[in-house]
């Protein structure tokens, strides 16, 4: 019986999953699927390695009201298929590893309790990351589960990149810049070593642009600084999250406007970013297609702040050899890439608009002194490889 492993990438409104067959030191996808629209219009879809549809089923919002319900539904559907393989473990994306975890770990009771303590630092993600782990521990307590952290890739930053201008005691207590989207950056960094090894060793800024958005400065493939910080609120404006914000605004909302901390938190996580700026949608596709001036403002705000982040991270690196776009917006929105690049001409960035419109890997023009690339990310594969290694199969 062939060995396999299962990967779960749980978000606030969807759970992506993949079943991988183990091929020596590598893995190959057998099933790729997702249950999205949790709590609104839940829909389970999955395909095999050849792209054939295995399931396409809708649920009511009451049937799949939260991620734990989604995990049970996925488990009920996929278990008979998994039965044909020797399942050695399950890998999970966990957003926040805090100061404790700089590498993937096998989840036990103590690890789970520690990860639960980080829920306030990533309330949109951490709880939903942990729900599938709990469900699987109930269903298969014998099955090893591995937590792979979005913060781990950024560990080892120079202290100057991790510090806030706050008293040292707070830094020692764990109040520091952790950075997120690390599994995506790690995967893209590895792909750069494969496709452009000369550039991968240089000064690279990767823009992970999706409903969550951030940028990361890499030198010789290592993270040197990221726009995200102590929580996943900092840095770039996102679909519903505010990005960088004057801390005085939070004090004003609490002290002068009378909002509770919970109300402020809900606003910053759920009602801000593109949604707050436009008053229309958190979806970049909707905003790009809209004639509403508020939608145009939101897009302009987003692209300006992405360009500012690239420029700032270039200072950290002492220059810029390559700019990389990845994730949903980064891979599929040529207009966003064009608007960002147009603001970075002073750094030597210049796009070939024809290549950009077709999302070629290389989209810079002959005049550009900076290589500009579109590199699709694959967090699930990164999780799978980490899980394989930790379980001693690599």
Residue numbers annotated as active site: 150
Cα–Cα separations (whole angstroms), residue 56 to 36, 59, 78: 11, 10, 13
The C-alpha atoms of residue 147 and residue 48 are separated, in whole angstroms, by 25
Q: What is the CA radius of gyration of the chain?
A: 21
The C-alpha atoms of residue 298 and residue 279 are separated, in whole angstroms, by 9
How far from the centroid of its chain's Cα atoms is residue 306's Cα? 16
- Residues near 20 by Cβ (< 8 Å), separated by ≥ 6? 4, 5, 6, 7, 27, 28, 29, 30, 384
- Local structure of 344: helix, strand or coil: coil
Q: Which residues of 142-176 are buried (b: 16+ CB within 10 A; e: fewer)?
A: eebbbbbbbbbbbbebeeebbeeeeeeeebeeebb
Quick one: which of 328, 335, 391, 394 has its CA closest to 363?
A: 335
Q: Token digits for 394? A: 């690599």
Q: What is the DSSP letter of 264?
A: H
Quick one: which of 236, 281, 245, 277 has its CA closest to 264?
A: 245
Q: Is 24 left (phi over 0), alpha (psi -120 to 50) or beta?
A: left
């Amino acid at each position: 019986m062939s060995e396999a492993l299962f990967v779960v990438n749980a978000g606030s409104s969807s759970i992506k999953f993949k079943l991988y067959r183990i091929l020596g030191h590598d893995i190959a996808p057998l099933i790729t699927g997702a249950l999205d629209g949790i709590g609104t219009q839940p829909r389970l879809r999955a395909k095999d390695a050849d792209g054939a549809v295995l399931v396409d089923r809708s649920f009511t919002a009451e049937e799949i009201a939260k991620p734990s319900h989604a995990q049970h539904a996925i488990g009920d559907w996929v278990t008979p298929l998994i039965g044909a393989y020797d399942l050695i473990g399950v890998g999970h994306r966990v957003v926040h590893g805090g100061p404790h975890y700089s590498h993937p770990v096998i989840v036990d009771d103590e690890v789970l309790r520690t990860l639960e303590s980080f829920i306030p630092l990533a309330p949109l993600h951490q709880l939903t990351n942990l729900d599938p782990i709990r469900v699987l521990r109930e269903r298969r307590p014998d099955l090893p589960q591995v937590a792979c952290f979005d913060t781990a890739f950024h560990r080892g930053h120079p202290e100057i990149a991790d510090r806030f201008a706050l008293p040292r005691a707070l830094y020692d207590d764990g109040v520091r810049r952790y950075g997120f989207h690390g599994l995506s950056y790690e995967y893209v960094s590895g792909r750069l070593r494969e496709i452009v090894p000369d550039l991968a060793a240089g000064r690279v800024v990767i823009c992970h642009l999706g409903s969550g958005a951030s940028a990361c400065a890499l030198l010789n493939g290592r993270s040197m600084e990221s726009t995200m910080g102590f929580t996943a609120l900092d840095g770039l404006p996102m679909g519903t999250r505010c990005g960088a914000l004057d801390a005085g605004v939070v004090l004003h909302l609490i002290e002068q406007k009378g909002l509770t901390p919970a109300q402020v938190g809900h606003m910053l996580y759920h009602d801000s970013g593109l949604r707050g700026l436009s008053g229309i949608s958190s979806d970049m596709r909707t905003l790009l297609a809209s004639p509403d001036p508020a939608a145009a403002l939101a897009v302009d705000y987003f692209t300006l702040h992405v360009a500012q982040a690239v420029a700032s991270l270039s200072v950290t690196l002492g220059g810029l050899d390559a700019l990389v776009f990845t994730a949903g917006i980064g891979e599929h929105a040529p207009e966003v890439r064009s608007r960002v690049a147009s603001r970075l001409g002073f750094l030597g960035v210049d796009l070939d608009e024809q290549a950009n419109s077709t999302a070629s890997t290389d989209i810079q023009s002959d005049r550009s002194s900076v290589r500009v690339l579109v590199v699709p990310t694959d967090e699930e594969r990164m999780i799978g490889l980490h899980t394989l290694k930790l379980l001693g199969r690599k």
